[in-house]
A and B are shown apart, each in its own frame.
Chain A
Amino acid sequence: MLGTHLEQVRQLVHAGVVVDGVRPAVRLFLSGDYEALCMMHGHKGPSATMPCLNCLSKRSPSVANAALDSVVGTLHDVDTLRPSHPRLAAHLVRMVAAGAPAAEPGQWIADLSQMDHLSIVRPPLFTIDPRQIVPLPLHLLLGITLRLLRLAVELVISCLSGNDGKVFAYSLAETSRCAVRVSRAPYHGGVFIGRECHAIAAASDVVCRTIVGLVPERYHQAYKRLWILWGRLGLTMSRAAFVEASEVRQFRANARAFVQLMKRGFPWVSVSPKLHNVLHHAPDFLERFGSIGMYGEQTVESWNGLSNQNAAKYTAETEVGSCANLVRAMAVAREASDANLVRPTARKPAREGARRARKSGDKRKRENKTRGGEPQCVATVERRSRRGGNGPKRCLRRAIGRWGLF
């Protein structure tokens, strides 16, 4: 699919664009989900020996590659300030020129050493500086929020038993649904959407209270600290604005503290490529370009929602015809300039003296809305409980697997 536009994008990068009579260069940033980025770079994938697209750190230390571990390091090295061997665009150029190991029929990846192919098995489509790969703020938010919730289940399993962990997983899901008022979406693999991840981080006290009495206090405090750090990191990463220098420095410190606490406080936790990204490459990107959220993959993900919402408006005989109608309509929608899209008047604040819900029993408060005998849709309740029922099962299964492996 990218082949349709590949040559045009290359020409665009080469020739630049004209803005106000000046021809600036085009600085291209690659974004998207991890699989799409791996495909663009010809990378083997997140389960490769060198899973990171920005550096050569190995996935985990091994006896067979102990020498290599000492040279390039692993994802589990959470004490280093920066990865010792970042990826270079020159290697991508070399892979394009010489052909990747699996590019030709007679070539095999086994013919090359790990330091030769660096887990790149196909010719890269773009040979840009790896520092311009966006560190996936949305997928980091979704994945690490879910990882923190699963960590609570793992804590209960480690301190009590598997049956207690099962009971706790369901109670945690119920707490999320009733107290935090979030439910798993049927898409995104059954995880929470980005806004709900922020809601969970904002209401992390409720989540942390669920493990009080079940785990030792030091675990509870460490877990609470993790949520606080992650809430700050998530806000900085997702905000589509340029951040101040002080916040950039604080982001790096928080990221370092978060990953180190996760690794040291909970020794069974494995540093995944996402955690590695949070620790090293997200702060680097933020320091270099001043923002992560503006370059994030939320743009491409939001188009999925847009096509879902407008599916009934752009119907056609075939699915591709419907897509073509949507693309045509959005091409027309580009005519609305940013000046037209800016709302001229902001929403006015409430007038002085307006009555607000302050008493605990006020029915205008969210927690009192469904307890006062108000009708509630049975189908909605059942659907929420059904969605919530699949989440704890999956979370429990992975937690038991992780704990058993440890």
Chain B
Amino acid sequence: MDGSGVPLDICDSCYFRSKRFRPCGAARAAAAGCGRAQASLVAPLLQPAAPTASRDRGLGAVSAAHKTTTPMDGDFQACCALRERVSYLERALERATSWAALVTRSAADLRVRLLTALVVRACAPAQRPTCTSFLEALHRGAWSSDRDGPVLQAIANSMLLNGGTPPEIRVPLVNGRETVYVRKVTPRKTVVQRSQMYKRLANGLSLLTDAIGSKASGAVTSGSININIGSDGCPVGSRLAPFAPITASPEQQLGLITRYGVSLTAFNAVRMGLGGSRVGLASVPAFRACRERLARLPAKRVIVTSSGAHLVVVKAVAQEKLAALSASHSFVERLLLDENLQPIAQTVEYEPLPTDDATPSAAAPPASVKDVHLTLAGDKGGSPSLVKIVLGVIK
């Protein structure tokens, strides 16, 4: 040993490396001996694994460099590897022992479950527990809250909703707490607000028919179910009475609410307030179906090009608008005026020219020819400059 406690027969780097390893037990004793004979006996049995050797390849190279100066480096290297290998095997043994214990427990558990299943299958048909036994078991807390809690709650709800049950049900839990189910009676008002009117409507529908959703609405509309919503004292019902059924088709209703920018959700609220399908207002699913059906029509198709969004078939659009005007008896013939401001009668039928060229006379026929006035308006400015071309019908 020198003055600082470092052995004289070992280099500084190997000494500090041995201190970093902190060997224990037999490995520490072997390291203390550090004999060449011991290392030669143990080394064949406890050679470090290849990854370890490769991992310490750099370290070995350093040690080889030291061999030329210190003859004890080879033995110390063997001792270090030996200690590392021993600790590795100890850890592997612990893991194997714990894994064996786990597998043993799993096998025992599986055996118990198999035996239980065999016993249940071999027994006679299970006897249904009586209500008394169920209640006793419930009071004993035989069911755990985690697994059976939802089922117990469903049972309690069914009992409370069906009526004729005790005023309250107490379900003790394994943790000592107790869940109490109490039936609360909500008094029905004589004059109800709108939301409660809907509840009454739903309750009446559920009592009178098995139909749900749109089927129920259809049943009310067809008259197979007659539900009197408005009572004498109900201000809402008294206001509903004067509404006459709406004759507009769902497409026309959809066109109206789209024109005025009303969303389907907002319209549904209005519809429910007015009486729903009783007054002929279409439902939201019906509107969605209409919208899909309309989107497939040629006059409704829209394409997006580099110049903007356009209607695909302008001719079909004009034809559709004129047909709608004619159907609603809103189409008016506009006669041109002569010099004396007297209308010129249109007596001549229009005959399309055989050629496809659009001549001036085609767009400006004589005053006596039956015509339809269309405007083609362009806008080069505008704020925002989005709308550029509009084709209009002068009715």
A and B: partners? yes
Would you call A217 an interface residue if the criterion is a C-beta within 8 Å of the partner chain's C-beta atoms? no
Report the stretch among A36-44, A156-164, A260-268, A362-370 that lies at the interface.
A36-44
Report the stretch among A8-16, A51-59, A172-180, A227-235 that lies at the interface.
A8-16
Beyond A28-B363, A129-B360, A331-B302, whether A307 also contacts B309 by CB under 8 A is no
Residues of A within 8 A of B371 (CB): 24-27
B370 near A323: Cβ-Cβ < 8 Å: no
User: Which of B315, B327, B337, B387 is close to A289, meaning CB atoms less than 8 Å apart?
Assistant: B337
A300 near B350: Cβ-Cβ < 8 Å: no
Measured CB to CB, the closest approach of chain A to B226, in angstroms, equals 28
Beyond A8-B315, A22-B370, A249-B341, whether A297 also contacts B379 by CB under 8 A is yes
User: Which of A27, A313, A341 is close to B374, meaning CB atoms less than 8 Å apart?
Assistant: A27
Instruction: Give the CA-CA distance A300 to B373 in the complex, in Å.
Output: 16
Residues of A within 8 A of B365 (CB): 25, 27
Beyond A28-B376, A295-B375, A338-B330, whether A4 also contacts B307 by CB under 8 A is yes
User: Which of B331, B334, B341 is close to A19, meaning CB atoms less than 8 Å apart?
Assistant: B331
Instruction: Give the CA-CA distance A35 to B334 in the complex, in Å.
Output: 28
A33 near B379: Cβ-Cβ < 8 Å: yes
Would you call A218 an interface residue if the criterion is a C-beta within 8 Å of the partner chain's C-beta atoms? no
User: Which of B291, B323, B372, B381 is close to A33, meaning CB atoms less than 8 Å apart?
Assistant: B381
Residues of B within 8 A of A39 (CB): 378, 380
For the residues of B in contact with A, the DSSP-based class is: mixed
Would you call B321 an interface residue if the criterion is a C-beta within 8 Å of the partner chain's C-beta atoms? yes
Would you call A320 an interface residue if the criterion is a C-beta within 8 Å of the partner chain's C-beta atoms? yes
Beyond A126-B363, A132-B363, A304-B384, whether A9 also contacts B391 by CB under 8 A is yes
One digit per residue, 1 when the CB lies within 8 angstroms of any chain B CB and 0 when it does not, for chain A 88-100 equals: 0110110000000
User: Which of B295, B314, B373 is close to A12, meaning CB atoms less than 8 Å apart?
Assistant: B314
B383 near A304: Cβ-Cβ < 8 Å: yes
Would you call A5 an interface residue if the criterion is a C-beta within 8 Å of the partner chain's C-beta atoms? yes
User: Which of A18, A90, A249, A287 is close to B319, meaning CB atoms less than 8 Å apart?
Assistant: A18
User: Which of B321, B353, B362 is close to A334, meaning CB atoms less than 8 Å apart?
Assistant: B321
- Which B residue sits closest to A313, measured CB to CB? B261
Instruction: Give the CA-CA distance A225 to B289 in the complex, in Å.
Output: 60
Would you call B310 an interface residue if the criterion is a C-beta within 8 Å of the partner chain's C-beta atoms? yes
Q: Give the size category of B's interface with A.
A: 35 or more
Would you call A119 an interface residue if the criterion is a C-beta within 8 Å of the partner chain's C-beta atoms? no
User: Which of A132, A321, A334 is close to B320, meaning CB atoms less than 8 Å apart?
Assistant: A334
B315 near A11: Cβ-Cβ < 8 Å: yes
Would you call B152 an interface residue if the criterion is a C-beta within 8 Å of the partner chain's C-beta atoms? no
Beyond A4-B305, A24-B350, A307-B384, whether A332 also contacts B255 by CB under 8 A is yes
Instruction: Give the CA-CA distance A245 to B339 in the complex, in Å.
Output: 11
One digit per residue, 1 when the CB lies within 8 angstroms of any chain B CB and 0 when it does not, for chain A 157-196 equals: 0000000000000000000000000000011100000000
Measured CB to CB, the closest approach of chain B to A303, in angstroms, equals 4
Residues of B within 8 A of A8 (CB): 313-315
Would you call A345 an interface residue if the criterion is a C-beta within 8 Å of the partner chain's C-beta atoms? no
Instruction: Give the CA-CA distance A2 to B308 in the complex, in Å.
Output: 11
B341 near A294: Cβ-Cβ < 8 Å: no
Would you call B213 an interface residue if the criterion is a C-beta within 8 Å of the partner chain's C-beta atoms? no
Beyond A17-B322, A25-B350, A93-B359, whether A304 also contacts B379 by CB under 8 A is yes
B378 near A19: Cβ-Cβ < 8 Å: no
Residues of B within 8 A of A330 (CB): 258-259
Would you call A113 an interface residue if the criterion is a C-beta within 8 Å of the partner chain's C-beta atoms? no
One digit per residue, 1 when the CB lies within 8 angstroms of any chain A CB and 0 when it does not, for chain B 316-349 equals: 0111111111111111001011010100000001
Would you call B256 an interface residue if the criterion is a C-beta within 8 Å of the partner chain's C-beta atoms? yes
Residues of B within 8 A of A290 (CB): 334, 337
Q: Which chain A residues (308-359) contact chain B, with CB distance < 8 Å?
A: 308-310, 313, 319-321, 323-324, 326-341
Report the stretch among B6-14, B124-132, B140-148, B246-254 that lies at the interface.
B246-254
Q: Give the size category of A's interface with B.
A: 35 or more
User: Which of B300, B307, B319 is close to A332, meaning CB atoms less than 8 Å apart?
Assistant: B300
Residues of A within 8 A of B372 (CB): 16-17, 19, 24-27
Would you call A134 an interface residue if the criterion is a C-beta within 8 Å of the partner chain's C-beta atoms? yes
Would you call B352 an interface residue if the criterion is a C-beta within 8 Å of the partner chain's C-beta atoms? yes
Instruction: Give the CA-CA distance A276 to B390 in the complex, in Å.
Output: 26
Would you call A79 an interface residue if the criterion is a C-beta within 8 Å of the partner chain's C-beta atoms? no
B256 near A340: Cβ-Cβ < 8 Å: yes
Residues of B within 8 A of A187 (CB): 383
- Which B residue sits closest to A24, measured CB to CB? B370
A323 near B308: Cβ-Cβ < 8 Å: yes
Instruction: Give the CA-CA distance A33 to B382 in the complex, in Å.
Output: 9
Would you call B358 an interface residue if the criterion is a C-beta within 8 Å of the partner chain's C-beta atoms? yes
B326 near A19: Cβ-Cβ < 8 Å: yes
Beyond A248-B341, A332-B255, whether A31 also contacts B375 by CB under 8 A is yes
Task: A24-B370, A33-B378 are known; give 4 further A-B pairs, CB within 8 A.
Answer: A30-B376, A127-B358, A332-B291, A337-B255
Write the residues of chain A forming the contact surface with B, with a CB cutoff of 8 angstroms: 1-5, 8-20, 22-33, 35-37, 39-40, 89-90, 92-93, 126-129, 131-132, 134, 186-188, 242, 245, 248-249, 287-290, 294-295, 297, 299-301, 303-304, 307-310, 313, 319-321, 323-324, 326-341
28 A-B contact pairs sorted by A residue (CB < 8 Å): A9-B376, A10-B358, A11-B356, A12-B315, A14-B358, A15-B315, A17-B372, A19-B331, A23-B349, A25-B369, A26-B372, A27-B364, A28-B364, A29-B375, A30-B375, A31-B378, A32-B377, A33-B378, A33-B380, A40-B378, A126-B363, A295-B394, A300-B387, A303-B390, A339-B330, A340-B248, A340-B328, A341-B256
Leading 4 A-B pairs by shortest Cβ distance: A335-B255, A336-B255, A36-B378, A187-B383
